[in-house]
Amino acid sequence: MTESSYWKPEDSVVQDFLAKMFRRAHSEHSRRYYRFGINNFVSFCNETKVRSVSQKRIYEILDSYVSWLDKKGTKPKTIADYMSAIRKFLGYIGIEIEVGKFKNKVTMPRVIKIQDEPLTIEVARKILSSGRPNPRMSGLILLLLSSGLRLGEALSIKVNDIDLKGSPASVKVKAEYTKTRQARVAYMSDEARDAISKIIERASKERLVFDYSGDLWVREKVANRTFRDVVKRAGLGEKIEDHRIHKIHFHNFRKFFLTKGSDIIGEHAAHALCGHGFYMDTYYKKSEKERQDDYLKLMPYLTVWKDRGISAAEQKVELNKHILRVAKYSEQEIDALNVAKLTDEEVGELARQRLSKQIEATTATTTAELDETSKNKSSLNENRPKEEAVRIADVDRYLADGYHASMNLGDGRVIMQPPGTWR
């Protein structure tokens, strides 16, 4: 076939092509990628009145397609993706595209490599505290940070794929979950294990660990949207300058793992644990015990909250920052206060002063409503213990419920006193 009018998504030739693309790796991502590329090219043909696509005019048409995309403000990387998809389809229907002729006759905009902003443990702590993620998102973040898993891999694992009793806890990443179609074992930090154990409690063995609804493509979209909300709440929602990509995204966690792993256990081992095929062929000839020992050396550097990854002094500073944020201090105000030099009493007084001003500013609430609120709080407090020892990661939730921090135990836990017991 050397000539064709353009195609409709429901045409058999399109459906057959998409089925073949899916069959190669059983990837819904691949099917959607090629479908979207074909549909975009059809939109171009409709808008520019291209009546047919022929071998004779193919390079002229493709160059016009690039120009059309460029004028619409499409990013060079996206143009390259669209072109890759449509070239594959054109080859399938018999319109051959020679590499040399394509380079000479079709001018592609240069793809500029974007420099990511490196992730730090401090940023991860801020996401997990100020971002107030729900337990499922907290578990996902901690797993990605400490395992090197791709997002799609993490969202594909089921309860029976994980072993939380091992040291370290591990995940069997099945071949069908991976980009390279190679099975492997990944490991996770103790705090990721603890977070995951809570979200799979009483779950069936076949349930997804991160049970977002829909197929993998939809689950990734939902997870990304939820993560964006968390990052925005943490005050970290900026985009890379002159680009649509956010500075903080899920892939930052995988890059963080690879960087720390290369530093601590060597580049070869780090790449293998991330699932890069070339390195896996040799690294996975090590015994399981040797691989576990490698990971245990690395784990302290992938730990966000526990005392092996953060000192008691740092925990105290983070806790005091949480208290000020709940009292509606902005990040700029907190930075200006130099919290590390303030005592717990000084931070408590600052929070009480700010909260008092907020209460005084609320004049619309009637005395009756206040009395009713007081009764409800008293009733609630009767059912709460006098104080609780909670993980630092959970402090934000308790502060939002009216608790106040009374003592940092220095072991990753804080004593929280219930509402009405402030002294």
Peptide bond into 168 cis (omega under 30): yes
Residue 116, domain member (yes or no):
no
Q: At what angle do helices 76-92 and 28-48 cross, to 10 degrees?
A: 90
Cα–Cα dist 400/66, whole Å: 52
- Residues 156, 286 within the same domain: yes
Residue 423, domain member (yes or no):
no
- Residues 376, 408 within the same domain: yes
Domain that holds residue 149: 121-302
Cα–Cα dist 149/258, whole Å: 10
Can you read off the two tokens belonging to residue 136? Answer: 């499922």
Residue 110, domain member (yes or no):
no
- What are the C-alpha distances in Å from 176 to residues 26, 124, 156, 305? 8, 29, 9, 33
Q: Please list the pLDDT of the chain residue by residue as tens digits (423 residues).
A: 344 456 777 788 999 999 998 887 777 788 888 999 999 999 999 999 998 898 999 999 999 999 999 999 898 889 999 999 999 999 999 999 999 999 999 999 998 777 777 899 999 999 998 888 999 999 999 999 999 999 999 999 999 999 999 999 999 999 888 887 888 999 999 999 999 999 999 899 999 999 998 888 899 999 999 999 999 999 998 887 767 778 899 999 999 999 999 999 999 999 999 988 888 888 888 899 999 999 999 999 999 986 444 555 666 777 788 788 778 888 888 888 888 888 888 888 888 888 877 777 665 454 555 455 555 545 544 554 456 777 766 766 666 666 666 665 555 666 677 765 544
The number of domains in the chain is 3
Region of 359 on the Ramachandran plot (φ > 0 left; ψ -120 to 50 alpha; else beta): alpha
User: Taking CA 271 as the corner, what is the angle to CA 197 and CA 80, rounded to the nearest 5 degrees?
Assistant: 105
Residue 112, domain member (yes or no):
no
Domain end call among 46, 71, 105: 105
- Residues 187, 294 within the same domain: yes
Residue 373, domain member (yes or no):
yes
